[in-house]
Structure 1
Amino acid sequence: MEFKINLQADKQQRRSAEYKLNIWKYGFLESLNSKYDGDNYTRQSEKLIQDVKNTMFVETDDLIAQLELIDNIGKLGLTNHFQKEVKEALDKIESIQNNDNLYATALHFKILRQHGYKVSQDVFGGFMDEKRALKESQISDPNGMLQLLEASNLALDGENILDEAKASSTVALRDSNICNILDNNLARHVVHALELSSHRRVVWFNVKWHIDAYEKDNHVKTILLELAKLHFNMVQATLQKDLREASTWWNNLGLAELLNFARDRPVECFLSAVGLNFQPDYTSFRIRLTKVIYLILIIDDVYDIYASLEELKLLTNAVDRWDVGETEQLPGCMKICFQVLYNTTCEIAQEIEEENGWNLVLPHLSKVGCYEIGPRH
């Protein structure tokens, strides 16, 4: 797809946000490659997955061991491989309570909430005094405080017990007396949790940190660590291929040169898509979403920086009508923006229809475009 515009014909003075230049060169992105993109690694991964299922998901009465396994699988980015096993384990332990162990109770609560189970904040009632403050006897346990902090970050509106638990655990973990008794790896986890709660972090961007931390754990399971490292490298290989495809699309458009007032952020757009789903099977989703985010950035800059009010009314009308003919009175840059939006949306709709055997996808996608760009009522 090639566009040509006459910049000299545009006599209107335009603003500029003076964005920093794109640091990612197309040649570099095209050169990305990984040895982990091969059938031999796929077979190795499948064997490790089966070994974990056979050796670690076994009948046991050790509630904490089960919870820690599920917790580690999630942090290492492996949940997708063990959905059935995790669901069966959680169904069995959902109603179990450990009212005399804060660490187990908090871990139990956190895991259940993360997986969509209903669990009441009242499970922490036994660890509170008559003033609904955390009992002093519990504060000296750093592992319990860490799990309580992570559990309390999943509080819903109005859950006062969890609000108090979060305040108490935060103060306790920042206390110098507790910090002095922490081993190095636990201290890393505490600092990590205090910086930003786990449910506010993007899962995939946090996996490597957890792999490094898990490797230093005194109770590390070698087979799970081996699988996590291999899985990480294999996913990275897939993401590199996806990024190459997305960057080729971006480079072929040539919009970076034509629309020099707009942000040129193809890699950042791709990373946003990765943040929503990093699983290898979702390549099409990531590529399409990257295109959409990239176009949203450009059109956002058209609205916020480049166009006049009258021009924006014309562009909004064109999108609302979903008609290329409505752009005739627009400057060349804005015609290109709409044409790329129109073409890309039609291409994505056609791909979805062909892949799934659906009909009439385009009207729904174009309505999304109208909503995002059109006037708010």
Structure 2
Amino acid sequence: MAQISVSAISNSNSINQGCGSVPIVRRTANPHPNVWGLDFIHSLKSAYGEHCYRERAEKLIGEIKCMFNAINNGDGDGYLIDLLERLLVVDTVERLGIDRHFQLEIKQALDYVYRYWNERGIGCGKDNSLVDLEVTALGFRLLRLHRYNVSPAIFAVVFENFKDESGQFVCPPGQANREITSMLSLYRASELAFPGENVMDEARIFTTKYLRGALTSISDWNNNRNLGQEIKYALENPWQKTVPRYEAKRYCQIYQPDNAWLGESIHKMPRVYNDKYLELAKLDFNIVHSDLLEEMKNVTRWFKDSGLPQFTFARERPLEFFFLIAAGTFEPQYAACRLAFTKVACLQTVLDDMYDTYGTLDELKLFTEAVRRWDLSFVETLPDYMKLCYKVFYDIVHEVAWESEKAQGRELLGFFREAWEDYLGGYMEEAEWLAAEHVPTLEEYIRNGITSIGQRVLLLSGVLLMGQLLPENILQQVDLPGHPDKLIELNCIISRLSDDTKTFQAEKARGELASSIECYMKDHPGSTEEEALNHLYAILDPAIKELTRQFLNPHDNVPLPCKKMLFDETRVTMVIFRDGDGFGVSKKEVKDYIKETLIQPLPM
């Protein structure tokens, strides 16, 4: 195909079209420039890619496996705390972000704990008849995270100890240190609630109130363990709204490799708490950081040469989109997933800004028709600036489809084309609403918004390149449009509403009338923005619980790495929209997350 001219693209808000005599007035969101310069990214270096560091990491992995196996084999005199020791070593490697090296050992430890699990709870050891709330809550959280069948009904009995004569929850006066740490453990367990588990909701409400009160009365003994800091962080950062890679780095910075504290008791556990875990965690973080650094250089180099920076009306966020996937799916074997995901996300941003603000309705109709035809010759009917856009779009879609076909061993081009047509059809409907100054019903808006958020085509572009075979019958267990119990559909719902609750005011200022807030207020005359937001949060909360249930569902046939990728991408998306539009304005909180997870290594 002949080289497409992009001379019509300029920094101006108007571009001459047609006969060139009448300028077209265009809307723009005035995005801030790319925060991460190409020269800066390519100046970053890391020594941790060298063989000596990987060799040391392998040695530490072997030594920790020996300690893990000694615990699992019951060596030594730890029989009085055999359940606690297994739970704590699993919790340690998971929170330090090194659990992928010990999957067999983790399974053996949790199988043992599950063998002695009962609905009354557990103590520190299998022969200990005294049920311990802190150990039980830790056991529940880890067993549920690993898809064991555990019921939260055990906590209903425990709650009776915290009720007054009228049945109301009360915080006992003079909160003991042991009670505080038990409540923190229970709070963390309650974050894994599934829909309909009322006792977990009750636990969450009660422990939140309890821990907020405890912050004002934590003893000096507990302050030495940074307990107050841990409580404050846990309350401000719900588990589903945290960045996995950031959490691992943070735990490395507060981990204390000395003794195991359980309430006010000290347990000597050298096989659980020692310097080797921390050394491996820091080394592993930096080795992964070194690998991701090279990928970031490749991504930014690709972006510069892709033609996308020529669309000056659009946001340039290549590193932000790489962060979106790499902050959860960081393992070396998923490099192809990360690259395809980032390319598609960068393309989507140009399309989003073109349909949302820059393009006229007539231009967008032409572009949408070109997408339906999948015919490069049709590009000649498009305005000049859209010609390059369509060429880049066409190339990226087909590149990802072909790579996916090679990975999956089946035809997928038609599947991808249909997904992209649906996605851009959603954009087109929103553009028509805007042109007609139409505000749809909330139901209509959400139904279309689940498609126009673009998450389905984005996630599919990554998950099919994870080295896991996903035949149609398996893929449909996570991707079946219109079914709100599927992981991808849930991601779309959560992403759409997380976006809307933080961006509706800026969008309204740009003249966009249709947002979930405005649609709710139209459906309910006289209602306020606060009431509309509360309604959306009431939709979000059960969707997040259903997302958790589907991720932890042990009865499907979807490879766990694929489910984890879909789940973690949702978590990072919620973080990006937690304090505002983290893609539109990425030079604040999101920039700090990127610094911590992708730019700065851990001091050894």
What is the TM-score of this pair, normalised by structure 2?
A: 0.58
1:267 is the counterpart of 2:319:
yes
Would the aligned equivalents of 1:49 and 1:227 in 2 still touch at CA under 8 Å?
yes
Residue 192 of structure 1 is matched in structure 2 by 233
Distance 1:374 1:326, change over 3 A: farther
Shift of 1:273: 1.6
Q: Flag as ranges the 4+ runs of structure 1 deviating above 6 A.
A: none
Shift of 1:134: 7.4
1:322 is the counterpart of 2:363:
no
Give the alignment partner of residue 94 of structure 1, picking from 114, 137, 145. Answer: 114
Shift of 1:305: 0.7
Residue 103 of structure 1 is matched in structure 2 by 134
Residue 4 of structure 1 is matched in structure 2 by 5
Q: Output one character per residue of 1:4-30: Cα deviation in whole Å (capped at 9) or x when no partner.
A: 313265342222111111121111112
1:45 is the counterpart of 2:39:
no
Which moves more between the two structures, 260-269 or 321-330?
321-330
Residue 244 of structure 2 is matched in structure 1 by 203
Distance 1:243 1:367 in 2: 30
Question: How many percent of aligned residue pairs carry the same amino acid?
Answer: 34
Which moves more between the two structures, 111-120 or 313-322?
313-322
Would the aligned equivalents of 1:132 and 1:161 in 2 still touch at CA under 8 Å?
no
Residue 519 of structure 2 is matched in structure 1 by none
Alignment of structure 1 residues 174-253 onto 2, 5 Å: 174-175=212-213, 176=215, 178-181=217-220, 182-184=222-224, 185-215=226-256, 218-219=259-260, 220-253=273-306
Residue 500 of structure 2 is matched in structure 1 by none
1:336 is the counterpart of 2:375:
no
Would the aligned equivalents of 2:257 and 2:278 in 1 still touch at CA under 8 Å?
no
Distance 1:317 1:207 in 2: 46
Paired letter, 1:179: I
Q: Output one character per residue of 1:176-217: Cα deviation in whole Å (capped at 9) or x when no partner.
A: 454345324222211110111223212112211110111476
Q: Secondary structure at the match of 1:128?
A: helix
Residue 122 of structure 1 is matched in structure 2 by 153
Distance 1:6 1:104, change over 3 A: same
Give the alignment partner of residue 302 of structure 1, picking from 351, 354, 378. Answer: 354
Residue 161 of structure 1 is matched in structure 2 by 199
Distance 1:138 1:319, change over 3 A: farther
Distance 1:357 1:22 in 2: 35
Shift of 1:341: 1.5
Residue 146 of structure 1 is matched in structure 2 by 184
Paired letter, 2:329: N
Distance 1:64 1:3 in 2: 66
Shift of 1:156: 1.6
Alignment of structure 1 residues 15-26 onto 2, 5 Å: 15-26=27-38
Alignment of structure 1 residues 361-372 onto 2, 5 Å: 361-372=412-423
Paired letter, 2:283: L
Distance 2:413 2:246 in 1: 33
Distance 1:276 1:366 in 2: 27
- Larger RCO, structures 1/2 (Cα 8 Å, 6+ apart): 1
Paired letter, 1:38: E
1:66 is the counterpart of 2:86:
yes
Distance 1:63 1:178, change over 3 A: farther
Shift of 1:49: 0.9
Distance 1:362 1:137, change over 3 A: farther
Residue 590 of structure 2 is matched in structure 1 by none
Paired letter, 2:143: L
Distance 1:137 1:306, change over 3 A: same
Shift of 1:357: 6.7
Residue 82 of structure 1 is matched in structure 2 by 102
Paired letter, 1:263: R
Would the aligned equivalents of 1:37 and 1:234 in 2 still touch at CA under 8 Å?
yes
Q: Which runs of 5+ in 2 are unaligned?
A: 9-14, 18-22, 124-130, 261-272, 427-447, 452-604
Paired letter, 1:5: V
Paired letter, 1:296: Q
Shift of 1:118: 1.9
Which moves more between the two structures, 56-65 or 153-162?
56-65
Would the aligned equivalents of 1:127 and 1:134 in 2 still touch at CA under 8 Å?
no
Distance 1:3 1:67, change over 3 A: farther
Distance 2:280 2:320 in 1: 28
Paired letter, 1:367: E
Q: How many residues align?
A: 375
Shift of 1:79: 1.8
Distance 1:277 1:20, change over 3 A: same
Residue 409 of structure 2 is matched in structure 1 by 358
Which moves more between the two structures, 159-168 or 131-140?
131-140
1:54 is the counterpart of 2:66:
yes
Distance 1:19 1:357, change over 3 A: closer
Give the alignment partner of residue 285 of structure 1, picking from 331, 337, 346. Answer: 337
Shift of 1:336: 1.7
Q: Secondary structure at the match of 1:33?
A: coil
As a proportion of its length, which structure holds more helix? 1
Distance 2:382 2:390 in 1: 10
Paired letter, 1:114: L
Would the aligned equivalents of 1:16 and 1:305 in 2 still touch at CA under 8 Å?
yes
Distance 1:252 1:303 in 2: 23
Distance 1:328 1:3, change over 3 A: closer
Would the aligned equivalents of 2:245 and 2:328 in 1 still touch at CA under 8 Å?
no
Would the aligned equivalents of 1:122 and 1:161 in 2 still touch at CA under 8 Å?
yes
Q: Which runs of 5+ in 1 are unaligned?
A: none
Distance 2:243 2:302 in 1: 26
Distance 1:357 1:126 in 2: 49
